[in-house]
Amino acid sequence: MKIEFDISDDKIVNFSLGARNELVHQSQRIVSDIVDEASRIEASRRIYDTSSEVTQSNVKEAANQPRMMVVKKKTLWTKVVQIASFISSIIMGSLLDTDKFKDTNHVTWFIIMTFIAIGTTIYLTFNQDNNG
């Protein structure tokens, strides 16, 4: 099926040739994604042993579904901070022995691990979307 649509020249006056080609490519990709999603929606609602028919409603639903819900890969830095948070939390928990709190060295390590665990957890909480 061939699909064509017009975009006014006013909107793409500053687009380079490469940008125009990329716009065509991305438009084709989005249309293909909508077609695939509409087919999946129809297949999930179809009664067993009945014929397949994608309706206007299926296409509208596929077009309106958020397609940006893809889970982003975590960066190496985020993974390292998560590991540091986990390990410091485990160590902090193992140091939580009230009988040993009389020793200054033990208390110092407990406080250090507590600050590392809290700091890394706060960093990970506020940096979930890689916003700095």
DSSP per position, 89-106: HHHHHHH--GGGGGSHHH
90 and 121 share one domain = yes
1 and 65 share one domain = yes
* Contact between residue 116 and residue 81 where contact means Cβ atoms under 8 Å apart: no
Would the pTM of this model clear 0.85, i.e. be above it? no
In angstroms, the CA 122 to CA 116 distance is 10
| Secondary-structure breakdown of the chain: helix, strand, coil percentages, each rounded to the nearest 5 | 65, 0, 35
Tokens of 90: 């485990």
Residue 132 lies in a domain: no
Last residue of a domain, one of 26, 47, 70: 70
Split into its structural domains, the chain has a count of 2
What's the pLDDT tens digit per position in 10-68? 998 999 999 999 999 999 998 998 999 889 888 888 888 888 889 899 899 888 877 65
60 and 87 share one domain = no
